Amino acid sequence: MRQSRRLKRMERNNKNHFVRLNLIPMLDVLSVLVFFLLFHSFNGDIPEQHLALPQSIVETKPRGTVAISVTPDAVLIQGEPVMKTTALYDDRLGTVPEVTNRLAEIQRSMANDASTKTLAANETREITLLADKNIPFTALKKIMTSCTASGYGKISLAVIQKAAHS
C-alpha cells in the first residue's frame, strides 16, 4: 500500500519531535511550594498571646478542693511536700500513709474552721490531682486509693485540653 504525500510528511515531522520535559518551571513551582509550607507550618501549639481578659462578677463561690501535685521529684498536697515520688514506685504499697495523714490534718483544720461547719453532712469532699505526664498511672492510682480511703469521694485528674482533630 502506497502512502500519500501528506502521511509521509506527517510521519517525517513527528519522528523528530519527542516530548521534552522542561524542568526549570517545575522546579520553580516546587521551590515556591516548599517555602510556602515551611513558612506557614508550626508544631501544632498555638503561640503564646498576651491577652487582656475581661473581668467578671462571680455570684457563686468556687468549690474548695484539695490540690495534690505529683512532680517527678515530690508529692505536694496544698503546696506542701509530703513525700518523694520515687516511693510511689514500690509495688508493695497499696495506699500511701503520708497522703492519708496529710489529708486527715487538712480535714481536722477544716473542721475547726467556722465556714465549713455550714456544709451539709452528705456533701462529698473533692480532690484535684495534678500530675506530670511521665508519672505512671499505677503511682497515681495509689494516691487516688489513699484519697478515697480518707473520705474524699470526688477525684478530678487535671489535664491540658487540646482541640479535637476532625
**Domain range summary for the chain, segments of one domain joined by +:** 8-39, 66-158
User: What per-residue confidence (pLDDT) applies to 18?
Assistant: 63
All three cell numbers of 61, joined, read 463561690
User: What per-residue confidence (pLDDT) applies to 38?
Assistant: 80
Tens-digit pLDDT string for the chain (166 aa):
678 888 888 887 777 666 667 788 888 999 999 988 887 776 555 555 555 555 656 565 556 788 888 888 888 888 888 888 888 887 777 788 888 898 888 888 877 765 555 544 445 678 888 888 888 888 888 888 888 888 888 888 876 655 555 5
As a whole number of angstroms, the distance between CA 127 and CA 133 comes to: 18
As a whole number of angstroms, the distance between CA 79 and CA 68 comes to: 8
SS3 (DSSP) at 36: helix
Per the confidence metrics, is the pTM higher than 0.85?
no
